[in-house]
Amino acid sequence: MDNVIPIRPKMSARVEVVKASDEWLVLVVEDQQELTRSFELESYALAFAEGQRIRLGLDKITRGT
């Protein structure tokens, strides 16, 4: 089945940290799945994001606006 086109294109793994209102969100994308975690403190969000970056073998964390 070489002519099968996936409905959703494969997403590359990434970790993103975004400030949203009064919380910090960490978005983890891996194997076409997305996980979002929220934190009250930026330091906790960054620590979680760094752990996910290491686990996924990524070079960087993306900082969103």
pTM, full prediction: 0.81
8 A C-beta contact, residue 58 and residue 13: yes
C-alpha span between 31 and 11 (Å, rounded): 7
Whether 29 has a pLDDT exceeding 90, the answer reads yes
Q: Which two tokens stand for residue 65?
A: 């606006």
Mean of all residue pLDDT scores within the chain: 89
Q: How far from 62 is each of 10, 23, 27, CA to CA, in Å?
A: 19, 17, 10
pLDDT score at 30: 93
User: DSSP assignment, residue 47?
Assistant: H
C-alpha span between 62 and 48 (Å, rounded): 13
pLDDT level of residue 32 (50, 70, 90 thresholds): confident
pLDDT score at 11: 67
